[in-house]
Amino acid sequence: MGLYSHTVYRYVAGRLAPRLEAAEDLTQDIMLAAWTGLRGYTGEAPLAHWLLGIARFKVGDYYRAKTRDALLAFEDEAFEGAADSVESSFVQFSQTEEATRAAAILRAMREDYALLLRWRYWEGHSAKQMASETGRSEKSVERMLQRARREFQKLWLEQEGGPR
C-alpha cells in the first residue's frame, strides 16, 4: 500500500488546493484507514482504485467537518436577498489565467468561506446536500454561501482595481 501513498496524496492535494496544509495528515489518515480495513479489500478492483475510494470519502468527511465548524460559528443574520450576479461572476471564469487568479483569491479568503465555495463549486455539492451533511438548515448554508460569494467577488474586483 505504501507504493500508492503518492497517488493518494496527489488526489487529496487536488481536492484541498489551495489549502494544502491538511493534505499530508489526511493522506496518513486514509492510509491508516486502508490498513485497518485491508480485510475488506476483495481484490475485485485495483488496489489504487480501492484506496482512492477511501480517499474520496475521507475528503468528504474533511469538508463536512470544516463546514460544520464554520456553520456553528456562523451568526444567523437577516437574509439579505439573492445575489445571482455574484454567483454568475464566480462560476464564469476561464480555465487559464482566471482560474489561477481564482485560486489566489481563495487562498486570501476566510478559510470557512473558501471551503464552502470549493465544496459547492469544485466538488459539486448542492446547498441541500451540504446542509444534510453538516446538520444545518439549507437556508443557513445558502446564506453563508452568499456571503462567501460576496467576499470572493469583492476580492476579485479589488484585484482588477475596480469598485470595492
Nearest to 133 by CA among 81, 59, 83: 59
Domains of the chain: 2-65 (1.10.1740.10), 74-160 (1.10.10)
Q: What tens digit of pLDDT does each residue of 82-104 get?
A: 344 444 545 544 445 677 777 78
Burial 65-103 (b: 16+ CB within 10 A, else e): ebbeebbeebeeeeeeeebeebbeebeeeeeeeeeebbe
**Residue 8's pLDDT is what?**
92
DSSP state of 20: G
How far is it, in rounded angstroms, from Cα 9 to Cα 55? 9
- N-terminal to C-terminal alpha carbon distance within the chain: 50
Question: What pTM was estimated for this model as a whole?
Answer: 0.48
CA geometry: angle 80, 150, 140, nearest 5 deg: 50
Spans of the chain below 50 pLDDT: 74-87, 89, 92-95, 164
| Three-state SS at 142 | helix
